[in-house]
Structure 1
Amino acid sequence: MSNDLAPMAPMPVHDNTDDMLWRTLWNAYEPVITALRRIPLVTDVEICGGEFGIHAQLTDGSHLWVGSHGSLPIDPSEMEGFHVRRAHHDNPTIDELVYDSREGEEQAEHGNNVVPLIKAIAAFVAERQLAPRVIEMVSVRLQAVTAQRQPMSKLLHGPFADNDAAIKEYGNAARLLAEEGWTCVHALGGTDWPLTVWELNDEVATVYLAPVGQVIV
């Protein structure tokens, strides 16, 4: 349903986070909210005007509204399926049904199951490119063993959001080692994910690209 290692969209920032009703609904629907935040969509619980629902912000200014038969019940055990629409506060022409597992509707067989709900939402926003991008960060690192058999680790460059920039700096680091007299004794990964092993005067060094996490942009 979601990647537990992926970065989550930030928490909403407003005065409702200390409201008991808001906290009750947030905790009740946490599996849905957390999965949406891992897509990653900024997700909130709406409690205005007596309407309870999950609001997920999309990158074009529109949003997803997750409800059921009207509002979400405070007690999830009283759910009768999920109803999800895409809408826009300032543009009423944006009105799309995303998912409906209420009785008699297209996804009714799934009922209150969260897994197909999130899969459908993830596919919807991916197809329309409505979710923030998750960028893999990469650094150029060196791992070495000295002539005295002491291990050493060093960050050479980065981290980079652009893999091409990381590969360029990797090439510069490798050329510098060669200019200093190091001999390349092993290479793999080609130009996609390069790694080389170097040797000089009983010292061994490995230069490689290392993933250092993800950021949301």
Structure 2
Amino acid sequence: MDAELFGRERAEVAPGAVHAPDWLGADRQRELLAACREWARPPAGLRTVRTPGGGTMTARQVCLGWHWHPYAYARTVVDGDGTPVKPFPAWLGALARGAVADTLGPAAVPAEPYDIALINFYDGDARMGMHRDGDERSDAPVVSLSLGDRCVFRFGNTDARTRPYTDVELRSGDLFVFGGPSRLAYHGVPRVHPGTAPPWLGLTGRLNITLRVSGL
């Protein structure tokens, strides 16, 4: 365990974008990891995402509620085994709403229910390029939860993939929420730090659970 002189503080990284360290306790992290392992099993399990240009994403993904494929949503895994997407559980939606209320305030909690989860698994070599979460019809805040290895999370601006941006270290149990003026900000993961997951979690690699409102 790291000995830190000062604990990590909650921070507003940009207007409407909040990093809340250690938001998930150890027991909740274990529960969420167990659920992710079940969701990753086939059918409609963990897959490699292929881009329209013929490339592949290095982070592998499984979806709940709606299946995301570049750059649209479907009810079946149209770019995989073709089976129906796994359902989005109500408890995950409640977790998302609680996260928004805690970070951005009760007024920011959307009237529509959260109904999408994109779960990305990063091994030590995986990255995620700068992108915007812009395929939803809702502007509800995006909720991001981290499990496992630490990473550099790059949070940018709404105009371009380039600077200005802020690099934030995300650790297991951290929460990052972005909405309002930051809802369409570019963001990515340029680096994962292998071997930095808490030993008690039992995870090699990093899981990112991103929760969204589809508006579909």
TM-score grouping bracket, smaller chain normalisation: under 0.3
Larger radius of gyration: 1
- Provide the TM-score with structure 1 as the length reference: 0.24
- Provide the TM-score with structure 2 as the length reference: 0.24
Which of structures 1 and 2 has the larger relative contact order (alpha carbons within 8 angstroms, sep 6+)?
Answer: 2
In terms of fraction of residues, the more helix-rich structure is 1
